Amino acid sequence: MIAHVETCVAVHDEIGQPQPLVVLRFGPAGAPRYWLILEVRADAQLADVDKLLRQLWLECCGHMSAFRVGRRELPKTIATGIAFAHPGSKVDYEYDFGSTTALVGELLGKRQGSIGRAPVRLLARNEPLVWPCGECGAPATLVCPFCIDSDDGVFCDAHAEAHEHADEEVYLPVVNSPRMGVCGYTG
């Protein structure tokens, strides 16, 4: 996918003055099946990247977030091209300091191009993952947030109804996000 994106992306450029761009990959540490590839104007702020990450993957109730390199927090006003300056540059990202979703952003490349008026655009993302129901193996539709860390925290509609936490009315939908089943995230 990354190779495809690198060759085809310029075809989708908008008309306009070419500007320095950075291509970033974001994904949760330790869960490689979730990923986003973003293209960002080098002068766009990390705040713009934060906004898109929230929109695509994270936003449930306006939690705080932070970009960090090691233990140093980067100001969200910093230019993305400075935060991701060198080949292989990595920046950690956290959304919600309680029930945290932790991501790692990595610089894949730089190019000159025009992406239109928005400072950030999504180039590609993982296909929705199929989670088998813990009881019957059919594609799951619901997550039990109490049981998500166990082996069978996802269920088809019928088995969600039969599950021990059905009466708690806490189920969340299966969604294409590493924040699935966390806090009130519904996609």
Do 135 and 159 form a contact (C-beta atoms < 8 A)?
yes
Q: Is residue 115 a contact point for Zn ion (CB under 5 A)? A: no
Site residues (CB under 5 A) for Zn ion, limited to 47-66: 60-61
Is 156 a residue that touches Zn ion (CB under 5 A)?
Answer: yes
Binding mask 6-45 for Zn ion (x = CB under 5 A): ----------------------------------------
Least Å distance, CB 152 to Zn ion, is 9
Q: How far is the CB of 87 from Zn ion (least distance, A)?
A: 35
* Residue with smaller CB distance to Zn ion, 84 or 131: 131
Rounded Cα gap, residues 179 and 187, in angstroms: 8
The residue count for the chain = 187
> Which residues fall within 8 angstroms of residue 112, CB to CB, at 6 or more apart?
18, 19, 20, 21
d(CA 11, CA 2): 15
| Residues in CB range of 86: below 8 A, 6 or more apart | 107
Of residues 136, 139, 161, 162, which one binds Zn ion by CB under 5 A? 136
Do 53 and 67 touch, CB atoms closer than 8 A? no
Query: Counting contacts by CB under 5 A, is residue 170 touching Zn ion?
Result: no
Residues that bind Zn ion (CB under 5 A): 60-61, 133, 135-136, 138, 144, 146-147, 156, 159, 165, 183
